[in-house]
Amino acid sequence: MTSRDQAAVTLAQVAEAAGVGESTVSRVLRNHGSYSGKTRDRVMTAVERLGYVPNRIAGTLASAGSRLVAFVIPSLSNIVFADVLRGAGATLEENQYQAVFAVTDYDPAREEALVASMLAWRPAAVMLAGYEHTERTINMLRAANCRVVEMLDVDGTALDLAVGFSNRAAGRASAEFLLKRGYRRIGYVGHDLDRDTRAAKRYSSFCETLSANDVPLADREIYREASSVERGRLGLDSLLARTSDLDAVYFSNDDMALGGYFHCLARGIVIPSQLAIFGYNGLDLGRVMPQALSTIRTPRVATGQMAAKLIMDNAPSQVIDLGFELIEGATA
């Protein structure tokens, strides 16, 4: 029943039907410039009757500035980026902007290709995760006539705008917290550090802080795959099999930590007296666990909101650190 290949109604047809000029229809529809009430009614009636849907492709081409915002994000499975998108979504929509997105799977080469493909849509802005990009990606973005927002990190040099928080500071805060609580045999279970450079920053900062306090990291289990609850559980299992006297484990994120928590439950390991668990992200579910998860809550939605707001406001280049919050919880 869907009617394909029928020519869509054009603005010219609406103008014809309403007995006015094309530019008048355009003005009425965009509520831009002046027109009389009577004209507006005639135009709107014609629009209604013909079922006219403006063609933004044409509109964008004619008016230069596009209202597309391109998101090039590492993953959709990771709730972090879904939250960022959610935060940005509302603001963009209010301003009649449209979000376009592509997923890099944490691969810089794919990011490069996707940025190139995104720029072909002449977006008003490109939103990326973090500061680590290939040289060509950076060159393309510099050459492009659009804003760039690097999100979820502030440790480095921004191309244009940056919104997020310090992953290094997060790693340090986590280490300091565990040290303050008296843990001395600390392990780490994490996912692919090569690709997730923000996780790598947290990890290295965590280790440095421990070392600076003469408590070197006791052991670690790092998977090359993406993070998951399952990896967290397997990782803790392997880690403890090798180094059984750990008193605390730092996970690369809450998903991994939940896996570790499940492992402890299954093996009867008492938390936190036998083993402390510390995560990262501050997912909602951490609050609801039988023992609230000790973790760091990151401003994911706020990052998206701020990123969108900066673009809408055409703010000057700057770096905005939204900080994070350490949640003491009951698992560490």
**Interface contacts to DNA, rule CB under 7 A:** 7-8, 10-12, 19-24, 26-27, 29-30, 32-36, 38-39, 52, 54-55, 58-59, 61-64
Task: Find, among 67, 88, 65, the residue nearest to 307 by Cα.
Answer: 88
Partners of residue 162 on adjacent β-strands: 150, 319
Q: Judged by CB, which is closer to its own copies: 5, or 313?
A: 5
| Binding partner selected for residue 222 from its own copies, DNA, none, CB under the kind-specific 5 to 8 Å limit | none
| Binding partner selected for residue 35 from DNA, its own copies, none, CB under the kind-specific 5 to 8 Å limit | DNA
Cβ atoms 99, 317 nearer than 8 A = no
Rounded to 5°, the CA angle 56-81-250 comes to: 170
Q: Work out which of 37, 120, 182, 214 binds its own copies, going by CB under 8 A.
A: 120
Q: Least distance in Å: CB of 159 to DNA?
A: 23
Window 22 to 61, contacts with its own copies (CB under 8 A): 51, 53-58, 60-61
User: Contact between 233 and its own copies (CB under 8 A)?
Assistant: yes
Other residues' Cβ atoms within 10 Å of the Cβ of residue 219: 18
Partners of residue 147 on adjacent β-strands: 125
| Binding partner selected for residue 19 from its own copies, DNA, none, CB under the kind-specific 5 to 8 Å limit | DNA
Window 72 to 111, contacts with its own copies (CB under 8 A): 76-77, 79, 82-83, 85-86, 89, 93, 96, 98-103
Cβ atoms 210, 179 nearer than 8 A = yes
Q: Judged by CB, which is closer to DNA: 30, or 267?
A: 30
User: Contact between 270 and its own copies (CB under 8 A)?
Assistant: no
Cα–Cα distance between 10 and 306 in angstroms, integer? 37
Cα–Cα distance between 273 and 289 in angstroms, integer? 17
Cα–Cα distance between 256 and 83 in angstroms, integer? 18
Strand extents, DSSP E, the chain: 68-73, 98-103, 125-129, 147-151, 161-164, 186-190, 219-222, 248-251, 276-278, 295-297, 318-321, 325-327
| Position 263, amino acid | H
Q: Least distance in Å: CB of 138 to its own copies?
A: 10
Task: Find, among 89, 121, 85, the residue nearest to 103 by Cα.
Answer: 85
Q: Judged by CB, which is closer to its own copies: 218, or 239?
A: 239
Tokens representing residue 181 in the block:
């609580």
| Binding partner selected for residue 270 from DNA, its own copies, none, CB under the kind-specific 5 to 8 Å limit | none
Tokens representing residue 189 in the block:
């279970």
Q: Work out which of 21, 116, 213, 318 binds its own copies, going by CB under 8 A.
A: 116
Q: Judged by CB, which is closer to DNA: 100, or 215?
A: 100
Chain positions contacting its own copies, by CB under 8 A: 1-8, 51, 53-58, 60-61, 66, 76-77, 79, 82-83, 85-86, 89, 93, 96, 98-103, 114, 116-117, 119-122, 139-148, 159-160, 228-230, 233, 255, 258-259, 262, 265-266, 284-285, 287-290, 317
